[in-house]
Amino acid sequence: MVELTINGTSHRVDCPGDEPLVYVLRNRLGLPGTRLACGLEQCGACLVLVDGECRYACTLPVADCAGRAVTTVEGLGNEHALHAVQQALLRHNAAQCGFCLSGIVVRAAALFRDEPRPSPADIRAALAPHICRCGAQPRVLRALDALAAGV
């Protein structure tokens, strides 16, 4: 049994401690926003925050999250109140297939939390671990540059 706090809600989950967080979120807690893509910490689609730090849920054993606060993309905004990063991405239609978006939203939310006015170089460095295969990167960058500039 592992005790977890996900997006502010406490859960007791009966699963092996070595089960990566991504399966727990998706299959046991009904939170599909954390995407499983590479399973190798190489693409960023599964990014979550654990006690505010960016972590790859595809390999992170759930036991390592016990007693810590996990934030997923579902915890950042909802249809009534989008997170500023989600708003910026929506305003710029910054996606094609969108499979990479959850991880990018989480990464950018952490960046803007720590540095409300990141430079273009900061934004590019922060997103470097993420893959967008559709080529929507220029739109994502335009959206986040505009957010950083307060536009």
Q: Pick one of 11, 63, 74, 84: the residue that binds other proteins (CB under 8 A).
A: 74
Q: Pick one of 57, 95, 109, 147: the residue that binds other proteins (CB under 8 A).
A: 95
Q: How far is CA 8 from CA 11, 45, 67, in A?
A: 10, 22, 12
Q: Is 39 in the site for other proteins (CB under 8 A)?
A: yes
> Angle 137-148/101-114 helices, nearest 10 degrees?
20
Comparing CB distances to other proteins, the nearer of 5 and 19 is 19
d(CA 72, CA 118): 22
Q: How far is the CB of 103 from other proteins (least distance, A)?
A: 10
Q: How far is the CB of 90 from other proteins (least distance, A)?
A: 6
Q: How far is the CB of 117 from other proteins (least distance, A)?
A: 19
Residues in touch with other proteins (CB under 8 A) = 15-16, 19-20, 23, 26-27, 31-40, 42-43, 45, 72-74, 77-79, 82, 86, 89-90, 93, 95-102, 105, 124-125, 127-141
